[in-house]
Structure 1
Amino acid sequence: MDALIETLNAKLTQWEPDVAEAVRQSISEIIEMADRDLLDIMRSRLVEQEVLDLIDEPETR
């Protein structure tokens, strides 16, 4: 885990400020959900967005 923290710390200083802040916010949300034991029941935003994208795609036949 220390390697992950070191990598994240280095990246946060390299990224544009708005990207770094978005990452900080996402990590904070994940920590809060983990503290509440909600990670296993929450749908991933990425998966949810992928489903919505599939629904919006025009049918190709």
Structure 2
Amino acid sequence: MDVLAERLDAKLRAWSPEVAEIVRQQVIEIIEIADQQLSDIMQSRLVEQEVLDFLDELPNQ
């Protein structure tokens, strides 16, 4: 397990249930933001590849 994940796990068990729940929700939000940004990058690369494929299919002039 990653050192950060181990530290977070230990802290979640040490904090009060209320604080632990707030932190859990914030971490979930951060993960969703990171996933969305990765998704945006992947979408851009997909569009870029589609353009390159289209250009490859054009007849040579």
Higher relative contact order (CA 8 A, sep 6+): 2
Q: TM-score range by the shorter chain?
A: 0.5 to 0.7
Percent of paired sites with the same residue: 61
In structure 2, the residue corresponding to 1:22 is in which secondary structure? helix
Greater C-alpha Rg = 2
Question: What are the ranges of 5 or more consecutive residues in structure 2 without an aligned counterpart?
Answer: 39-61
Any runs of at least 4 consecutive aligned residues in structure 1 with deviations exceeding 3 A, and if so which? Answer: none
How many pairs are equivalent? 38
Residue 15 (structure 1) aligns with: 15
Compare the two structures and name the one with the higher helix fraction. 2
Question: What are the ranges of 5 or more consecutive residues in structure 1 without an aligned counterpart?
Answer: 39-61
- Per the normalisation by structure 1, the TM-score is 0.58
Aligned-residue CA RMSD (Å): 1.7
- Per the normalisation by structure 2, the TM-score is 0.58
